[in-house]
Amino acid sequence: MAKSVPVRCPACSREHSFTPPTFPCACGAPLTVPILAGPVARLDHRTWEDSWVAVRCHSCGRRDHWPQPELGCPCGTVVRLPVAEAPEETGSRLATTGGAGAAGATGAHPAPSSAVLRPAFHPVTIRTGRDVVTAAAQYLKWLGFTSMRRVEDRAPSGVDLRGPGIVAQVDPTTRPTGVRDVECLWLHGLSEAAVSVFFSLAGYARVARSRADELYLPLFVMDLTGTPQPVNDPADDLIRMGPPEV
């Protein structure tokens, strides 16, 4: 478990104990956002770009964007904590390191196996929540799913994208996706005899990943370049084999 750090509210001087958030990297290792010692910044206005920080996984070296740590004080003040962000890779190092970290930093995607031949995937840069859905739709088309369409009224089902033989959900929030969302999407896919695919910006809770493995539901995480990365075996198989009819 991550070690708590003291945080003092700049408005009322009340001291809090803050535990840095831990997220699941695409490689499966836990990634704790590294909090720096020092003064915190009062958050008066939030933008999409400022809500994310770049952190590198110590296990696989992948550099990804994760939710910016924030703390709300009972006085009503919200503060943003300083983070030791990972610098962007230089071109020379990218050429020599390769691997998942290089793919995440450059927007490239590992080439599929010989089972399915595809051109290079061109990601859609994410600036808004709507861009996340667009990026997921583009990726599914790249995988071979045709006629993908956005579900404008997603409230009844939670499904964001639909196509022949596929339903997909996209979680653009800064919280890890929970098990209930995974199970609900699986049930929708089951009722429609369709493949269910989940995309998340902040990753998945551990129990959600375990449940997805049991249900054989592909899970992907996205960075702000709009490049999905597989986080379980069903997702790897989907990349390798494409849609069932391929």
Q: How far apart are CA 228 and CA 186, in angstroms?
A: 19
pLDDT tens digits, 92-143: 333 333 333 333 333 334 444 444 678 888 888 888 888 889 999 999 999 9
Q: How far apart are CA 243 and CA 167, in angstroms?
A: 12
pLDDT tens digits, 175-213: 899 999 999 999 998 888 899 999 998 889 999 999 999
Work out the average pLDDT over 14-22: 87
pLDDT of residue 220 exceeding 50, the answer is: yes
For residue 134, what pLDDT is reported?
92
Q: Taking the model in full, what pTM does it have?
A: 0.59
In the numeric block, which tokens belong to residue 28? Answer: 């499966």
Name which residue leads in pLDDT, 58 or 110: 58
Work out the average pLDDT over 60-87: 87
pLDDT of residue 31 exceeding 80, the answer is: yes
